[in-house]
Amino acid sequence: MNDSNPKALTFGGETHDGPLADISHLTEREKLNYRSKGMSAFGTYDYEQFKSDEDFELALACAAPYNCRYPEHCDEEMLHSFVDYQRSLYYHKKKYRVWEKEVLDPMVKSLADHALDAPQYNTSFLLELEKRKMECMDAYFSHSVTADENGNYPGGRWLRLCVKLLGYLVNESRIPDNKILAVNPRNISYPVSQWELDHFNNQTEESDKLRYGRKIYWHKTHRLYCHIRQHALHTWWD
C-alpha cells in the first residue's frame, strides 16, 4: 500500500459473480429499509454509509431488482450486470479509501508543506510545486475507475511525460549529457542568444558544448512542457 506507482485495480480487474445475499430472514420493514438505503447509495455512489460488507450485500439484494426498473421487468442479464457493477465499484472504493489514506494523503501533505515553506522568488520552486501536484494527479488517476488493471489511464502518457520534463526543469543537472549533445538547436529563440547558439554549434569548442547545450535543452524542454499542458490539460482524465 505504501507505493504511489500504478497497480492493479479492483474495478474492472475482478469479477463478482456470487449470488445475492439471502434476505429471507429479514422482516418486511427491514427489507424496505435496506431497499431504501441501497437505492440511495447506488444513485449517489455514497457507499460509505454501509457499516460492513454484509450491510452492503443485504442492501444490494433488497434494492437490485428495483434499480433495474421493477422486479417484474428485470431479467437475469440485467440484474447480473447491475449487481456486478455495484459490487465492483463498492469494493474498489473500499480499497481506494485505504490507499488514499496511506499514500495519497501524505503526498498531498508534502505538496502543501512545499507550498508553505518554499521561498517565493525562485522559478524552480514553482516548477517543483507543479511537479508534485502532477505526481499526485498521476497517482490518483492510476488508482481511479478510469484506469485499467495495470494502472494506465487515458492521457497518462502525457501527464507522466510532463512529470519527467519537470524533473529536468527543476534540476537541470539531471539532464543526461548525451541528450544535451544530441539536442537540435533549431526552433529556439529568446532567451537563448545567437552568441550562445554559435558557441554550441562550434565544433572546436567541445568544452563549452555541454554548458551552452544545457541551456538550450532546458528551454526546449520548457517549451514542450507548456505545449503539452496547453493541449492535454483538460483531457488527461477523459
pLDDT per position as a tens digit, 162-181: 999 999 999 998 999 889 88
Q: Is the pLDDT of residue 182 over 60?
A: yes
C-alpha 77/C-alpha 4 separation (Å) is: 37
Task: Say what the pLDDT of residue 1 is.
Answer: 42
Summarize pLDDT for 81-134 with one digit per residue, the tens: 888 888 888 888 888 889 999 999 999 999 999 999 888 888 889 999 999 999
| Cell representation of residue 165 | 520534463
Measured between alpha carbons, how far is 65 from 47 in angstroms, rounded to an integer?
18
